Structure 1
Protein backbone atom coordinates (compact mmCIF):
# COMPACT_ATOMS: atom_id res chain seq x y z
CA UNK A 1 0.00 0.00 0.00
CA UNK A 2 2.95 2.32 0.61
CA UNK A 3 4.02 2.00 -3.01
CA UNK A 4 0.55 3.14 -4.11
CA UNK A 5 0.73 6.33 -2.01
CA UNK A 6 4.27 7.03 -3.21
CA UNK A 7 3.03 6.86 -6.79
CA UNK A 8 0.08 9.12 -5.96
CA UNK A 9 2.44 11.73 -4.48
CA UNK A 10 4.64 11.62 -7.60
CA UNK A 11 1.71 12.27 -9.96
CA UNK A 12 1.41 16.08 -9.43
CA UNK A 13 5.11 16.51 -10.22
CA UNK A 14 4.62 14.49 -13.39
CA UNK A 15 1.62 16.57 -14.49
CA UNK A 16 3.47 19.84 -13.85
CA UNK A 17 6.49 18.68 -15.82
CA UNK A 18 4.27 17.56 -18.72
CA UNK A 19 2.55 20.97 -18.86
CA UNK A 20 5.85 22.85 -18.69
CA UNK A 21 7.30 20.65 -21.42
CA UNK A 22 4.25 21.18 -23.61
CA UNK A 23 4.33 24.95 -23.30
CA UNK A 24 8.08 25.13 -23.86
CA UNK A 25 7.79 22.95 -26.94
CA UNK A 26 4.87 25.00 -28.26
CA UNK A 27 6.67 28.30 -27.56
CA UNK A 28 10.01 27.26 -29.09
CA UNK A 29 9.22 28.68 -32.57
CA UNK A 30 8.35 32.01 -30.95
CA UNK A 31 11.68 32.01 -29.12
CA UNK A 32 13.40 31.51 -32.47
CA UNK A 33 11.40 34.36 -34.02
CA UNK A 34 12.20 36.65 -31.09
CA UNK A 35 15.80 36.93 -32.24
CA UNK A 36 14.57 39.51 -34.74
CA UNK A 37 13.54 42.62 -32.77
CA UNK A 38 10.75 43.73 -35.12
CA UNK A 39 9.09 40.33 -35.00
CA UNK A 40 9.61 40.16 -31.23
CA UNK A 41 7.80 43.48 -30.68
CA UNK A 42 5.00 42.38 -32.99
CA UNK A 43 4.50 39.05 -31.21
CA UNK A 44 4.73 40.72 -27.78
CA UNK A 45 2.11 43.30 -28.74
CA UNK A 46 -0.20 40.58 -30.10
CA UNK A 47 0.12 38.63 -26.82
CA UNK A 48 -0.65 41.77 -24.78
CA UNK A 49 -3.63 42.52 -27.02
CA UNK A 50 -5.04 39.00 -26.66
CA UNK A 51 -4.56 39.07 -22.88
CA UNK A 52 -6.29 42.46 -22.65
CA UNK A 53 -9.21 41.30 -24.76
CA UNK A 54 -9.52 38.17 -22.65
CA UNK A 55 -9.70 40.26 -19.48
CA UNK A 56 -12.34 42.54 -20.98
CA UNK A 57 -14.45 39.61 -22.21
CA UNK A 58 -14.24 37.82 -18.85
CA UNK A 59 -15.20 41.01 -16.97
CA UNK A 60 -18.24 41.46 -19.20
CA UNK A 61 -19.25 37.81 -18.95
CA UNK A 62 -18.94 37.73 -15.16
CA UNK A 63 -20.61 41.12 -14.63
CA UNK A 64 -17.67 42.95 -13.07
CA UNK A 65 -17.51 46.68 -13.68
Structure 2
Protein backbone atom coordinates (compact mmCIF):
# COMPACT_ATOMS: atom_id res chain seq x y z
CA UNK A 1 0.00 0.00 0.00
CA UNK A 2 1.49 3.37 -0.96
CA UNK A 3 1.85 6.30 1.44
CA UNK A 4 1.76 9.98 0.56
CA UNK A 5 3.12 13.26 1.90
CA UNK A 6 3.53 16.75 0.60
CA UNK A 7 6.91 18.33 0.07
CA UNK A 8 7.21 22.10 -0.31
CA UNK A 9 10.20 24.43 -0.47
CA UNK A 10 10.36 24.86 3.30
CA UNK A 11 8.42 21.97 4.80
CA UNK A 12 7.72 18.26 4.36
CA UNK A 13 4.52 16.81 5.77
CA UNK A 14 4.12 13.46 7.54
CA UNK A 15 3.46 10.25 5.62
CA UNK A 16 -0.28 9.59 5.21
CA UNK A 17 -2.26 6.60 3.98
CA UNK A 18 -4.20 8.55 1.33
CA UNK A 19 -3.32 11.24 -1.17
CA UNK A 20 -6.28 13.32 0.06
CA UNK A 21 -4.82 13.39 3.60
CA UNK A 22 -1.48 14.63 2.22
CA UNK A 23 -3.22 17.29 0.12
CA UNK A 24 -5.25 18.36 3.18
CA UNK A 25 -1.99 18.76 5.13
CA UNK A 26 -0.58 20.99 2.37
CA UNK A 27 -3.72 23.16 2.37
CA UNK A 28 -3.78 23.36 6.18
CA UNK A 29 -0.13 24.50 6.18
CA UNK A 30 -0.96 27.23 3.66
CA UNK A 31 1.28 25.80 0.94
CA UNK A 32 -1.63 25.00 -1.38
CA UNK A 33 -5.25 26.01 -1.91
CA UNK A 34 -8.24 24.06 -3.17
CA UNK A 35 -9.42 25.00 -6.67
CA UNK A 36 -13.17 25.04 -6.07
CA UNK A 37 -13.84 25.32 -9.82
CA UNK A 38 -12.22 21.92 -10.39
CA UNK A 39 -12.96 19.47 -7.55
CA UNK A 40 -10.03 17.30 -6.55
CA UNK A 41 -7.40 19.80 -7.68
CA UNK A 42 -5.11 21.80 -5.44
CA UNK A 43 -3.07 24.78 -6.58
CA UNK A 44 0.35 25.19 -5.01
CA UNK A 45 1.12 28.62 -3.54
CA UNK A 46 4.80 27.63 -3.31
CA UNK A 47 6.80 25.07 -5.25
CA UNK A 48 5.48 21.71 -4.04
CA UNK A 49 4.39 18.18 -4.85
CA UNK A 50 2.76 15.10 -3.38
CA UNK A 51 5.32 12.31 -2.94
CA UNK A 52 4.43 8.63 -3.07
CA UNK A 53 6.27 5.88 -1.20
CA UNK A 54 5.54 2.19 -1.65
CA UNK A 55 5.31 0.08 1.48
CA UNK A 56 8.24 -2.03 0.22
CA UNK A 57 10.55 0.99 0.17
CA UNK A 58 9.55 2.26 3.63
CA UNK A 59 12.24 2.21 6.30
CA UNK A 60 11.81 -0.48 8.95
More helix by share: 1
More strand by share: 2
With normalisation by structure 1, the TM-score equals 0.24
Q: Which has the higher contact order (CA 8 A, sep 6+)?
A: 2
Larger radius of gyration: 1
